[in-house]
Structure 1
């Protein structure tokens, strides 16, 4: 395995231990190792530098390793990075299980022989690279480069649980290009693909780090906006709608514009994941049936009352 470009970040307040680990790893001349001594600094550097593996002490001066693990596993840019938890004393079985269930790939208890520790790091990196390659192929839409809907199988529950655990809102936005079949029929499927890719680019440009963008199917896209209530999600969808409507396309010697419709729903603890998505989808249905080129935000009970019986 070629580890020449592997970057390892250690979040550990015991500087002697951290430096010992760093020197042991550097002896192999295959690593770029950095150290943070507080959780705050470590999380900030992880977000900015996106290392290949992170080693986190369970005890830190400003927080504990479980909070750091939660933050890193909750962010879209870092949730897949392998994280090893390190404890300088024997924790309870419940603590070990808790850390592993939160997403740690290993739980190391000090003291540990340096050779064993380095081997654990190597295994974590190798498994991560294999899983990342397989996952990217499995969950990526080849046309737009966005996630496909299979990502929802393992991200939806994680995001909804995080929302409940921290009391932070999460909203879904279902977006659909208006009259897309007519676009394909009039200008051809290759041009239709260009329109889809353009909308994907607009969504990526507008999205934040934690947002999840999914090509849900055909000309339909789903966005999960962590930290956004229904008003914030509505404002986001409106900006996307205006951006897309303003986009000029050139085809067959002419310029053309297209529009989209969107439905917004804010998640509540009484909803199942399916009900959450269905509410956004039904809000989209209302937007389509209200004239298109608009955004509609609605609660589950409002949607149920508005739909034809």
Structure 2
């Protein structure tokens, strides 16, 4: 894990860097508050930081306030441990009120610092998991419905701004109820994960895919016209049909029906989804195992 060390005293800075490397961290070391804020506000900022309270430029408490304000806007969280010689209760409270998560009094005990950083690491890892599952479907690990709508809204705005094509695909597993009724719901879960893997493999790196609900999936295709979107979806349909899945002792052939709609400037999100949904029902009415638009 990358960790920022902001300390103006060279001896302490070198010691911290050495200890952190020994404990398995990847330290980014700076010597004043301005440099610390530059690192913490960058695009690839560390999520963990050890910051001296008293430094040239910005003090540690000022950095904490800036970080918390920025985190409120971008939805991220960075864990900050303040290093301080100020051990009075009022000073500690002031540091925590500024936004520090923890503090260590100088001269610090290396084992105490190590344990406090271990706690910070566990909290950050838990937060990362919570953030992941807030936006992803637990079964397939694809984006969930809420996250899909956010991404679709962003892609529609970009299409308007850059005058680029955008297509939306809906996929529905044909006769999925039969799979659940014949082989059980655990087998049905295997089928959904199987479809999710094929979608991730066959879509372009910048396409967006998620689980819409039940056995339905959504594919957001930036830059794809109706014709290009059709080619992408029909290739996926063929790949799924070419790969039977073994359930119990049977090789089960799977097919999917898909609907495709192209975004036009001024459309609402509901309107675009409704068009793709209408196309999906046309595919089903036409005998399934088809892409309609």
Which of the five TM-score ranges fits, normalised by the shorter chain? 0.5 to 0.7
Matched, 1:289 2:240: no
Matched, 1:238 2:268: no
Structure 1 segment 45-56 matched on structure 2, within 5 A: 55=42
CA distance in 2: counterparts of 1:131 and 1:231, whole angstroms: 42
Counterpart position of 1:270:
266
Deviation larger for 116-125 or 269-278: 116-125
Structure 2 unmatched ranges of 5 or more: 5-9, 18-24, 29-38, 47-55, 80-123
CA distance in 2: counterparts of 1:53 and 1:157, whole angstroms: 29
Matched, 1:205 2:192: no
Counterpart position of 2:77:
126
How big is each residue's C-alpha offset from its partner over 1:91-132, in whole Å with a ceiling of 9 and x where there is no partner?
xxxxxxxxxxxxxxxxxxxxx935568654687563596875
Aligned pair partner of 1:174 in 167, 170, 178: 170
Structure 1 segment 19-168 matched on structure 2, within 5 A: 29=17, 55=42, 113=57, 115=59, 119=64, 120=66, 124=71, 126-127=77-78, 132-168=128-164
Asked which structure has the greater CA Rg, the reply is 2
Counterpart position of 1:87:
none
SS of equivalent to 2:42: strand
SS of equivalent to 1:268: coil
Counterpart position of 1:183:
179
SS of equivalent to 2:168: strand
Counterpart contact for 2:67–2:78, Cα < 8 Å = no
CA distance in 1: counterparts of 2:242 and 2:267, whole angstroms: 35
Aligned pair partner of 1:216 in 209, 212, 218: 212
- Give the drift of 1:167: 1.3
Q: Count residues in correspondence.
A: 211
Counterpart position of 1:247:
243
Counterpart position of 1:71:
none
- Give the drift of 1:227: 1.3
- Give the drift of 1:5: 2.1
RMSD between aligned alpha carbons?
3.4
- Give the drift of 1:210: 2.3
Rate the CA distance shift 1:142–1:246 in 2: closer, same or farther, 3 A: same
Counterpart position of 2:105:
none
